[in-house]
Structure 1
């Protein structure tokens, strides 16, 4: 393996490359059209290729790996401090080359196409959910202007909507009622589209042993199981459970000087969508534990700490448990949670 490090700044049409020639020590820069990218690397000896983990990076990483190159993806946040003076493609490529060789640098795991497909379904569903919330809020606001108050929440709104539309039809002109009915049809179509995506995710859950193993953990359902397995990539990318939890942003943020370090709130780094799912899962676990009086350690924790702090702690524990289940290939152990601290 040639240890030449080639940094690539990707774009839509022109790619900028930066590397150092070992034989001469000279700095090399090269611009390549998108169509010539694979052709150039095909003729190149196997090297270490580094790119920012941005749009299209995982697809390029898989293509270059098939050509025999070792590919690493680095977070753009890690690259930004090394951009000198003006920001150009050449400066970005040089910054990538410099950042990737820093001691202790962490890289983004390259995802498979199947993992990207699952995450794409999650993104589409999240966008549809946002659109449905906008549509229902608009409908609720319009009816409120005419004295009709609808309950909050999508399910409660749909349950109360038929009676509200009957009442509105007696008070409002037909020109507005036609538009309100069209709005209801749009909401129903969005709900149908969301159900279709969840059906496809459920199929992925049935076909993936890893997703099924994760789904056995308390609080972990369809969305969280499929999202966490696809986002993690391989558990081997993390040295332990705490590193995985820190990658999601569920560990305390630290601030210190003069030898004194303070523990603060969770860092909230990493994937916000995945962190949100784990926080919702943790709330479900805490609520279920409070009602059923299970897991004495959790009951004790609720007595000593505020509710939201307990939820964050349980989310952290869920993330660590997920990594342990996937890394060790063992099923979730219910007895281990009974005596957890």
Structure 2
């Protein structure tokens, strides 16, 4: 197998389709393995380039390959699709991955560490609890509406649900109150779980040097700093701050032809969760411009005076992302005095 230059792998849960290309691009291997067989095959293979799409389980396999002496290349799935020839099947996908990995202009995804994946898992579980709690609140509101009661929005009203029901002076069936009691207990449980996840992220941000540096930036707290550590990991993954902002989808969408540039709204490409946190951070700054917002001085004042509010929010989020890249790149805390 010494003739293999690039090994393309189409990942699956139980089956893995492998296609090997030689230095000339000729296909020299086409095999299907299960998980254990694949690891055994890679362990016996001479050091080579192993490529696969950045998807579920890809970072674990990438770390395995690196430990076995191979060079790994993780490719975004949307960049592999143009190289798929003819009908789609697993071997054709593996061949497309191998071909895409051979292109010098191809963009690759950095391999995440175990710690970064654990932080991302904490965020994912927290988001799941929030979605479940929102659904639980909506369910309670819909049930009460069926009995002629419109529950006001907000967690404060939800926490004081039974006190609010007592103030309505409306008799409800005892069996309905039992059901409400049960679902309200589930709401309280979800709130406790969300708080527990917040405590975990706070502890991580307090003990991680990069997270502490990121938290010196206005609008960035425990959530944004820890997710940056998990998803960005190293500033070297981007050439500059603008590239990181573009990866987050915080730059204008472009459609230019014939030498005529056309710019539209933000692209919203890339990491949606981290982009949302930067936007929320920008909104938090604009809610208190006289305190947190003053570090941006006249730039923010002029922008707020000439642009709509949401445009200013995205522009500020873009700026926060670029500052975050600079902090990660230079390993220095944010200094407000250096801002124009």
Q: TM-score, normalised by structure 1?
A: 0.94
Match in the other structure for 1:267: 267
Match in the other structure for 2:315: 313
C-alpha displacement of 1:292: 7.3
In 2, the alpha carbon distance for the partners of 1:21 and 1:170 equals 78
Q: Which moved more, 1:78-87 or 1:218-227?
A: 78-87
Alignment of 1:323 with 2:322, yes or no, is no
CA deviation string 1:214-256 (max 9, x = no partner) = 0111011111111111110211111111111111111111111
C-alpha displacement of 1:126: 0.5
In 1, the alpha carbon distance for the partners of 2:233 and 2:261 equals 33
Aligned ranges 1:1-341 → 2 under 5 Å: 4-22=5-23, 25-159=26-160, 161-167=161-167, 171-289=171-289, 294=294, 295-337=297-339, 339=340
Cα distance, 1:232–1:276 mapped onto 2, change above 3 Å = same
In 1, the alpha carbon distance for the partners of 2:301 and 2:3 equals 57
CA deviation string 1:47-105 (max 9, x = no partner) = 11111001000000001100011111111111112111211111000111122223421
Structure 1 gaps of 5+ residues are none
C-alpha displacement of 1:24: 10
In 1, the alpha carbon distance for the partners of 2:42 and 2:27 equals 20
CA RMSD of aligned residues (A): 2.0
CA contact 1:279–1:315 (8 Å) conserved in 2: yes
In 2, the alpha carbon distance for the partners of 1:166 and 1:26 equals 75
Structure 2 gaps of 5+ residues are none
| Aligned residue pair count | 337
In 2, the alpha carbon distance for the partners of 1:292 and 1:26 equals 58
CA contact 1:293–1:299 (8 Å) conserved in 2: no
C-alpha displacement of 1:290: 5.7
* Secondary structure of 1:111's aligned partner: coil
* Secondary structure of 1:18's aligned partner: strand
In 2, the alpha carbon distance for the partners of 1:296 and 1:58 equals 44
CA contact 1:251–1:316 (8 Å) conserved in 2: yes
* Secondary structure of 2:46's aligned partner: coil
Cα distance, 1:239–1:3 mapped onto 2, change above 3 Å = farther
Q: Which moved more, 1:26-35 or 1:223-232?
A: 26-35
In 2, the alpha carbon distance for the partners of 1:124 and 1:292 equals 30
In 2, the alpha carbon distance for the partners of 1:10 and 1:113 equals 19
In 1, the alpha carbon distance for the partners of 2:293 and 2:335 equals 19
